[in-house]
Amino acid sequence: MTYLLFGVGLVALLAGGEFLVRGASAIARAFHLSPLLIGLTVVGFGTSAPELIVSLQAALAGRPGIAIGNVIGSNISNVLLILGVAALIAPLVIPGRRLWRDLSFMMAATVAMWVTLLDGTVSRLDGVILVAGLLAFLTTAFLAGRNHPPEPGHETFGPIWKPWLMTGAGLVGLVIGARLLVDSATSIARDFGISEAVIGLTIVAVGTSLPELATSIIAAFRKHTEIAVGNVIGSNVFNIFAILGITALVTPIPAEPRFAEVDIWWMAGSSLVLVVAAFVLAGLPRLAGAALLAAYGAYLWMMMG
């Protein structure tokens, strides 16, 4: 039964990703918003919804290792796994000059998370500061992405309610699919005696990142590379500012020392790789995608070692 739920969740994720990308692209065109803005906000936050649900439930259930590990592990897999796979499908264009604000927010969020972990607890005050960072990010993203000129030659969806309905259906599919996958994968992992922190950093993190994976893969196939990249950057910012911040507002989260001593550096390193790709390579060719996947394999090997 567990494996059946895993399969059902995977199907729901793939279908949800298709609807989300198509609907979000149409919304961007209808309101003259840039696809990058939609990727950073609507798609980024929507695909982060499973992380929010899981982290909140884990923190309230007294499982802080899963709550924090989920955030760190998701950000690592977003760059190394998701962009790696997307780049293998279609080389990604990452315009550093257009993304410098968003990449700066991503690095600032990473530093903020490291600081909050140093004292061993993500407090409610930390949560207030993180949520304030989220509001600043949303404001700057909207101001930078509005009044985007219309793009001729693209498909339309007729009445404006249709893309909104598609986007909503996609988000629902992603959340349901991710929950089924996380529950089934966590159950399997516990049967093999894997620790809570490792479950949060790997099984749960990858499971809750599957919406981003499904969305970015579909965006890459449809040549919407800005949505694929914006999805990852936006999701990484939301994971820290929104998910960790909101969870800490609800209940303070104790943090194991290993998160600040080991795992946060993997997250910072993967974020820095994305910055270098944007400003030095102006994108991710297929070879770089393969290198990211190899790095993620090395991380998993270290975790399981």
Tally of structural domains, the chain: 1
Q: Is 122 a residue whose pLDDT tops 60?
A: yes
Please answer whether residues 57 and 184 qualify as being in contact, where contact means their C-beta atoms are separated by less than 8 angstroms.
no
Q: Is residue 229 part of a domain?
A: yes
Does 20 reside within a domain?
no
Of the two residues 234 and 241, the one the predictor is more confident about is 241
Residue 55 is assigned to a structural domain of this protein: yes
DSSP β-ladder status, 283-284 and 121-122: unpaired
Domain, as residue range, for 90: 37-146+196-304
Contact, 178 vs 207, CB < 8 A?
yes
Residue 54, domain member (yes or no): yes
Dump pLDDT digits (tens) for 18-29.
787 677 777 767
**Residue 134 included in any domain:** yes
Residue at 50 is within a domain? yes
Q: What is the pTM of this model?
A: 0.78
132 vs 209: which has the higher pLDDT:
132
Which amino acid belongs to residue 280? V
List the beta bridge partners of residue 284.
Answer: 92
Tokens found for residue 239 = 């994971």
The identity of residue 140, as a single letter, is T
Position 274 pLDDT exceeds 50: yes
Alpha-helical segments (H) within the chain: 2-30, 35-38, 44-47, 49-60, 64-77, 84-89, 96-117, 124-145, 161-191, 196-198, 205-221, 225-238, 245-250, 257-258, 264-276, 286-304
**72: domain CATH number?**
1.20.1420.30
Judge whether 178 lies within some domain.
no
31/42 Cα distance (integer angstroms): 13
To which residue do tokens 């649900």 refer? Answer: 53
Q: Using the CB atoms, write b or e for 145-160: b if 16+ within 10 Å.
A: beebeeeeeeeebeee
State the virtual CA torsion across 179, 14, 78, 102 in degrees, nearest 10: -110
Q: What is the pLDDT of residue 153?
A: 47
pLDDT band at 103 (very low <50, low <70, confident <90, very high): very high
| pLDDT digits 0-9 by tens, 195-213 | 767 777 877 777 777 777 8
Average pLDDT over residues 258-272: 93
Domain for residue 151, yes or no?
Answer: no
Residue 177's pLDDT is 75
Lowest-confidence pick of 113-127, 139-153, 163-177: 139-153
Any idea which of 160-169, 237-246, 267-276 has the lowest mean pLDDT? Answer: 160-169
